C-alpha cells in the first residue's frame, strides 16, 4: 500500500483569535494586539510546528457584526494593523514558514499590491504569498468615495446577487492578472550590476505589460525586480460557485469551508471542473479546507472552554467554516477523513490565541507526524517549492527556465 501523501497545514491569524470573546481568555495578550512582538511571537510559534504558511487577516473597514457598517459593540476587538506590514515585520525574523497577508482588491490599485507583495517576497527570501479579498460592502466604498459597488442582497442565490458577485470577482481576476504581469515585467537577469561598464540594469529586459481592461489600464513595468519565487503564492477564500471560478482561474491555493467529507468532495469536484474550464487542468491547484478549532486535552475541557467564551459574548459562536471542538487526536481523525475527499491541506483558525495556536503546533502536529502524514522539517527553501509548485517561467522572456 503506498505511503499517504504529506498533508499541508496552515493557520489563519486574526487578532486574539476567531472567537469574538477570545481577547477575554485568561492567556490572551489583548494589550499587545498592536505590537510587533505579538505578531512575531505568533508566526514563530507557527514555525516551530513547521506549518506551511500563516495567513494574516485584514479588511478595509473596522471589524463589525453588522453588514451595513460599524456597530456599537464595545465588548469585541475593534481596530487592527495592516496585514501586509505585519508580514513585512515578521518575515525577516523567521526562516521557514510562509507569510500570506490579506490585501483587498476592491478600491485599491494592483500596482501598489504587486510591489508590496514582491517586496515581501524579497524580505522573506521567497516565502511570500497574498490572500485576495473583494469588498462587497457599500459602507467600505464610502471610506474611499471614488465608486459604488454592486449590491449583494441577503439571498445570495438571487440573480441580482449572483450578477453582483460576478462583477466583483471578474474585477478581481483582472486585478490578479495585472499583478502577475507586473511580477514578470522584469526578467530574472535584468539587473547586471556591472561596475566596470557602469551598467546596473539591462533596459531591454524590462517590459511594458500594456494591460487594457474594463477596470484597469496599466502600462508597467514594476519598480521592483522579479520576486525570488518568480510568482509569489496567490490564495483566495471561496464559498460559492462564483468565487470557486475565480480561484480556479487566478489562484494557487483556494481555501474552502466544507462541513463534511461529502460536501468536501462536491466542492473539490466543482473547483477542478472550473480549473479545467480555465485551461489550467495541468497546473497544480491546492484546495485547503478551513476549520475553526477549540482544542484541549479532553473533549469535555474543549467544550467547556468554548461554552465559557460563548457565555461572555452572549451567543453560541458559529462561523462560515466548520467549528471543531475536541482534542488534537480527534482533529487529526477529522482531517484525515476530510482529505480523503480530495483536499490537499487545511487552514486552521485558532478559536483563541495563543492557546489554540499552541494546541495545533504542540498537539496536532506531533500527532500527524506520528501518523506519518506531516513533515519533520522544512524540505524546500521557498513557499512555492514546499507546495510542489515550480518557479514559473517569465512570460516576457524570450528563453527562460525555472526550478523550485
* Binding site feature residues for FMN: 58
CA separation for the pair 404, 385 (Å, rounded): 5
CA separation for the pair 218, 195 (Å, rounded): 33
CA separation for the pair 64, 67 (Å, rounded): 8
C-alpha cell at 293: 478549532
CA separation for the pair 83, 100 (Å, rounded): 9
CA separation for the pair 158, 162 (Å, rounded): 6
Q: What are phi and psi of 350, to 5 degrees?
A: -65, 130
Question: What are the CA-CA distances from residue 255 to residues 148, 171, 173 (Å)?
Answer: 27, 20, 16
SS3 191: strand
The answer to whether the peptide bond before residue 336 is cis (omega within 30 degrees of 0) is: no
CA separation for the pair 232, 179 (Å, rounded): 10
80 CB burial (10 A radius; 0-12, 13-18, 19+): middle
Q: What are phi and psi of 342, to 5 degrees?
A: 115, 0
Amino acid at each position: 500500500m503506498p505511503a499517504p501523501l504529506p498533508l499541508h497545514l496552515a493557520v489563519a491569524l486574526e487578532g486574539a483569535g476567531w472567537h469574538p470573546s477570545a481577547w477575554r481568555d485568561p492567556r490572551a495578550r489583548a494589550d499587545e494586539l498592536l505590537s510587533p512582538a505579538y505578531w512575531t511571537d505568533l508566526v514563530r510559534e507557527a514555525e516551530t510546528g513547521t506549518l506551511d504558511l500563516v495567513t494574516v487577516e485584514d479588511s478595509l473597514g473596522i471589524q463589525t457584526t453588522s453588514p451595513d457598517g460599524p456597530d456599537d459593540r464595545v465588548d469585541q476587538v475593534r481596530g487592527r494593523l495592516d496585514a501586509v506590514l505585519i508580514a513585512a515585520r515578521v518575515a525577516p525574523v523567521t526562516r521557514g514558514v510562509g507569510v500570506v497577508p490579506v490585501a483587498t482588491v476592491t478600491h485599491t490599485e494592483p500596482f501598489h499590491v504587486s510591489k508590496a507583495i514582491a517586496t515581501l517576497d524579497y524580505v522573506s527570501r521567497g516565502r511570500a504569498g497574498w490572500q485576495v479579498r473583494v469588498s462587497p460592502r457599500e459602507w467600505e466604498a464610502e471610506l474611499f468615495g471614488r465608486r459604488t459597488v454592486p449590491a449583494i442582497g441577503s439571498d445570495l442565490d438571487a440573480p441580482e446577487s449572483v450578477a453582483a458577485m460576478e462583477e466583483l470577482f471578474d474585477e478581481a481576476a483582472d486585478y490578479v492578472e495585472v499583478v502577475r504581469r507586473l511580477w514578470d515585467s522584469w526578467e530574472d537577469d535584468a539587473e547586471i550590476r556591472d561596475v566596470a561598464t557602469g551598467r546596473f540594469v539591462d533596459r531591454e529586459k524590462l517590459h511594458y505589460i500594456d494591460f487594457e481592461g474594463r477596470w484597469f489600464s496599466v502600462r508597467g513595468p514594476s519598480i521592483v525586480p522579479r520576486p525570488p519565487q518568480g510568482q509569489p503564492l496567490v490564495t483566495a477564500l471561496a464559498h460559492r460557485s462564483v468565487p470557486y471560478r475565480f480561484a480556479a482561474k487566478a489562484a494557487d491555493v483556494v481555501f474552502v469551508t466544507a462541513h463534511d467529507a461529502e460536501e468536501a468532495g462536491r466542492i473539490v469536484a466543482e473547483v477542478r471542473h472550473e480549473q479545467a474550464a480555465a485551461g489550467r487542468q495541468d497546473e497544480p491547484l491546492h484546495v485547503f479546507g478551513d476549520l475553526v478549532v477549540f482544542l484541549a486535552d479532553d473533549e469535555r475541557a474543549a467544550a467547556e472552554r468554548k461554552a465559557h467564551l460563548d457565555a461572555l459574548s452572549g451567543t453560541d459562536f458559529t462561523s462560515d467554516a466548520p467549528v471543531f471542538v475536541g482534542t488534537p487526536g480527534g482533529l487529526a481523525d477529522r482531517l484525515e477523513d476530510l482529505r480523503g475527499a480530495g483536499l490537499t491541506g487545511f487552514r486552521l483558525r485558532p478559536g483563541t490565541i495563543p492557546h489554540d495556536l499552541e494546541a495545533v503546533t504542540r498537539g496536532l502536529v506531533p500527532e500527524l507526524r506520528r501518523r506519518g502524514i506531516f513533515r519533520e522539517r522544512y524540505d524546500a527553501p521557498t513557499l512555492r517549492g514546499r507546495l510542489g509548485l515550480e518557479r514559473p517561467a517569465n512570460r516576457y522572456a524570450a528563453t527562460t527556465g525555472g526550478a523550485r
